[in-house]
Structure 1
């Protein structure tokens, strides 16, 4: 039997991305002062965490990350009228809101949060946390 491969990097830092989908409704105020009609989007949320692999080879076990994101973000967003959660709920503001909800339960592992309106615009908003100024 061939020898098992041993990682050359003793303490690799690895990113883990997990995707979540939810459907929610909004009606944004546009830059020209008009307001959109109330409508739904199917959103894609990507949560990225990062750290040195643990003794079992995980950044964080997938089921644990799934539970945290579902409990602290998706449960409130799914099917929601987003204006009840955040003022002017753009993709950009949703990314910041999700970051703020996940920062504490993910204990400093959070690397980025990305939100896109699936199939509509091809745009994605990514937030990487507060900048040191």
Structure 2
């Protein structure tokens, strides 16, 4: 059976700050993400119904993160922590998630592929 990759992209604005060695006051980023799924086509010839995917990201991811204070969601709100959180949340709904990439700047990304 043929396998394909499907990538869902999105963005949201959120705030975070850091203590410890990073020592940054609370500030906002326009985060960008790419979440890639990998698996076989179903009997109808697709991996995921785009409507189901869009509904999940709109209501379970973007609504939760857009204009959020990430410090209230995570004890250590780094981009790395955010990528892992996204992966785990998406994997609970779509077990064939392959990777999550998150960027807070256009020139660097964090990529998480689960426990390898």
Matched residue count: 116
Q: Distance between the aligned counterparts of 1:109 and 1:71, measured in 2?
A: 20
RMSD, aligned α-carbons? 1.5
Runs of 4+ in 1 over 6 A off after TM superposition: none
Between the aligned partners of 1:65 and 1:76, the Cα distance in structure 2 is 16
Bigger Rg, structure 1 or 2: 1
State the shift of 1:30 in Å.
5.2
Map 1:12-91 onto structure 2 (within 5 A). 12-29=2-19, 31=21, 35-91=23-79
Deviation of 1:86 (Å): 0.8
> Deviation of residue 118 (structure 1)?
3.7
What are the ranges of 5 or more consecutive residues in structure 2 without an aligned counterpart?
none
- Where relative contact order (Cα < 8 A, 6+ residues apart) is larger, the structure is 2
CA contact (8 A) 1:14 1:52 kept: yes
Is 1:112 aligned to residue 102 of structure 2?
Answer: no
More strand by share: 2
TM-score (norm 1): 0.80
Task: Please give the per-residue CA displacement for 1:48-80, whole angstroms capped at 9, x wherever unaligned.
Answer: 111111223211122211212233322111100
Question: Counting helix residues as a fraction of each chain, which structure ranks higher?
Answer: 2
**Residue 93 of structure 1, CA deviation:** 0.5
| Map of 2:112 onto structure 1 | 127
Structure 1 unaligned spans of 5+:
1-10
Please give the TM-score of this superposition, normalised by the length of structure 2. 0.90
